[in-house]
Structure 1
Amino acid sequence: MRTDPAASAAGNPDDYRRFGLDPRSIEPWEDGARTENRPGTYEWWYFDAHLDDGSKLVVVFQNKDAVSPNRPLSPLLRINLDLPDGRTIEKLQSLPADSWSAATDHCDVRVGADRFEGDLHTYRITAAVDEVAIEVTLTGDIPPWRPGTGHLVFGADRADVFAWLPSVPQGTVTGTLTLDGATRAISGVGYHDHNWGNVPLPSIVHDWYWARGQAGPYSVIASYITAVEKLGFQAIPVFMLARDGEIVADDASRVRFETDDVFTDGVTGKPVASVVRYTYADGDDEIVVEFTRERDLVRARMADELSPVKRLLARLARFDGAYLRFAGPITVTVRRGGALVERHGDEAIWELMYFGRARAIPVQGATSA
């Protein structure tokens, strides 16, 4: 009899049948609406871009807050813009339920005049909040990918689900950005994924590190997800490495995760690693992907975004969620038989989502697998 851990990536044949997926292909409907906005579920479509002028852009269409999935349809539009001059602009707009629609056969999400639409290769995104507006096209350079079924399952019955589809692991971005009435052309490298689930994230996930980046011919998506205490703090690594647009490594069981220089963040009270490292080992060959924090882009307590009443309720419920986003170098190092073969570096952005109470700071250089 097979014994599954309390939290794991779903990737066996029964899982593919359960979710109606083909292990050999990804279909456009997988990026369409998956929840029908049912109570107890949530869903979002995410886009980010590293622009050629050094700006960082994030746009998210959410059908509701993932922390409160039992709410009715409550659309949210998020735009985050980090500018080369050091300014950070964060916008979160709540919109009426009747302004939201999402197709089921492919990605076509609309909220008011804003739209997120595409076909697993080419996406067009328009979004505007106050003085910020974007109109961009994202064209995939790497084919869509998912880790197994793309579903993480939790609990003894594996009924609690959080799902994730990187529809464009990396692509080319072109378009325009309007800020304070001035419109300019933009270009850069972008990414799009789609997430959904059927249980409040704080009830299954304690924290996660998530990153994507590019260095030389390599592109990477990497995450390390830790389940809540009642699920034994079970770890779920996720890893994808592409070279020249072709996926060359995505077996997360070969990944070792490490952190260095961990400290307590003064704003959120969460332990933060200044260095996160993913080592992919295949026999005597290994690829090391390392992210080094140089600056903080976001340090936010989730309750601060709530109304005063909901903030009080969150405090009474001891909800202590936090979100941090960092910028700094990514380094990809390739060794074969212990000999250095390649090393490439560039700039990247990554995040720490922390739903649970802060755990003790681990020993420096601690390793998890």
Structure 2
Amino acid sequence: MAPRKRMISVLSVVLFCTILSSLSANGSLLTLHHQTSSIDDITLHDDAFHGRGNLPFIEWWYFDAKLDNGYSLVLGVQVLNIFARGIVTTRLTLYDKESVLLKNYEKYFLRDLSASSDIPSVYIEGNQVILGSYDAVNDRFVYNVNIQNPESSVSLQFVGCTKGWKRQQQTGDWWAVILPRANVTGTITINNTTMNVNGTGYHDHNWGIGARVAMHFGWFWGTCSSTNYTVTWAEIQTTRLTQIPIMVLNTKNGGYLEIPSDTIWFSTENISFDHFRRVPWFFSIETVTEHVFLIIDMEVISVDHTDMFGFIKYWRYHVRCSGTIVVDGHMETVDGISIMEYLRFR
């Protein structure tokens, strides 16, 4: 960030905190909740299989985790159905200190998929890959995820510590963030060597993705966290020059708050060519509302490119997030590694 912009940002934080402290002498935290907005509470049914409806469609379940031993991973199940001739894929990518350690991609016939339309339960070739449940005693979602392949396997449990939400996009498709933040435990096996792991994870689910979505240019997506806050954000590029920013702020063991789109500023810098496309290597996201002040820079550490379904360009970033989140006068620092993505349809 340019020195002038950084100075303005720091001064803005100081001014913002001063104003808020004068309004709330005790510095009490805002109780985050969903107000009149475009997002709603999530249920287990929302994370079930929504396919076998209108054709064509794309649907996927996505999980990622940043582990305490320096490893990170992304895994998921994708379903593509065009005129009743569908395929199912699983993807698992393991990273060691943000560098690709191994990448596995498996493809199956649609008939190999058995997925419940009531709860998040997904089987492939008779093996359960995803099972989600609700822990009523602790009011949280719990997911068990298992993927096995010849080189590796993962068996992880994601235990939610934030309230999930869902949003229907302007194109009619749905984005459900069931686990904005979760505690992750389990095992990873690589070449017959098994290690116990723990860390922090995320899970979302997209469905109803049809031809209207592919008319978009693409999108950016990511998350950033401080001690008690988690920010899930996206920048939908309806065209190369027009965007729709989205941001939801979760508090740990609490609720969520949608940030108005017209108060979100997203910018990219350090553009370079990768796989014949212009891609950025530095990102910044900011907002100022009645209750929230946020400025976060994301500096790229590594980039991993993938072609999806033969026509989608996809870049997965590991980024170092640094910045500040202020909620009703309570300020926390953002400083850590996060995973984000850039997807382009053209």
TM-score (norm 1): 0.74
Following superposition, the deviation at residue 162 of structure 1 comes to: 2.2
Cα pair distance change 1:138/1:85, threshold 3 Å: closer
Aligned amino acid, residue 232 of structure 2: I
**What secondary structure, in the 3-state scheme, does the structure 2 residue paired with 1:36 have?**
coil
Q: Would you say the 8 A contact 1:257–1:276 is kept in 2?
A: no
Alignment of 1:61-80 (within 5 A): 61-64=77-80, 69-70=82-83, 72-80=85-93
Question: Could you list the per-position Cα deviations for residues 61-117 of structure 1 after superposition, in whole angstroms to 9, with x for gaps in the alignment?
Answer: 1122xxx74462311111111123844311110113322111111111111224201
Aligned amino acid, residue 91 of structure 1: N
Aligned match for 1:292, one of 299, 308, 314: 299
Aligned match for 1:327, one of 292, 306, 318: 318
Alignment of 1:154-303 (within 5 A): 154=171, 161-200=172-211, 203-228=214-239, 234-265=242-273, 267-283=274-290, 286-296=293-303, 298-302=304-308
Per the alignment, residue 346 of structure 1 pairs with: 336
Per the alignment, residue 309 of structure 1 pairs with: none
Q: Would you say the 8 A contact 2:225–2:334 is kept in 1?
A: no
Per the alignment, residue 153 of structure 2 pairs with: 133
Q: Would you say the 8 A contact 1:75–1:95 is kept in 2?
A: yes
Q: Percent identity?
A: 20
Bigger strand share: 2
Aligned match for 1:109, one of 122, 134, 149: 122
Q: Would you say the 8 A contact 1:168–1:191 is kept in 2?
A: yes
CA distance in 2, matches of 1:264, 1:130: 36
Task: Out of 341-350 and 128-137, give the one that drifted further.
Answer: 341-350
CA distance in 2, matches of 1:349, 1:332: 16
CA distance in 2, matches of 1:72, 1:236: 33
Following superposition, the deviation at residue 287 of structure 1 comes to: 1.2
Aligned amino acid, residue 299 of structure 1: H
Following superposition, the deviation at residue 256 of structure 1 comes to: 2.4
Cα pair distance change 1:143/1:341, threshold 3 Å: closer
Q: Would you say the 8 A contact 1:268–1:301 is kept in 2?
A: no
Q: Would you say the 8 A contact 1:239–1:251 is kept in 2?
A: yes
Following superposition, the deviation at residue 269 of structure 1 comes to: 2.4
Q: Aligned residues, how many?
A: 306
Structure 1, unmatched stretches of 5+, are 1-10, 17-22, 155-160, 307-318, 357-369
Question: Is 1:118 equivalent to 2:132 in the alignment?
Answer: yes
TM-score (norm 2): 0.79
CA distance in 1, matches of 2:213, 2:289: 34
CA distance in 2, matches of 1:90, 1:200: 29
CA distance in 2, matches of 1:28, 1:118: 7
Cα pair distance change 1:289/1:250, threshold 3 Å: farther
Q: Cα RMSD over matched residues?
A: 2.9
**What secondary structure, in the 3-state scheme, does the structure 1 residue paired with 2:49 have?**
coil
CA distance in 2, matches of 1:341, 1:348: 20
Aligned amino acid, residue 144 of structure 2: R
CA distance in 1, matches of 2:153, 2:291: 49
Cα pair distance change 1:70/1:164, threshold 3 Å: farther
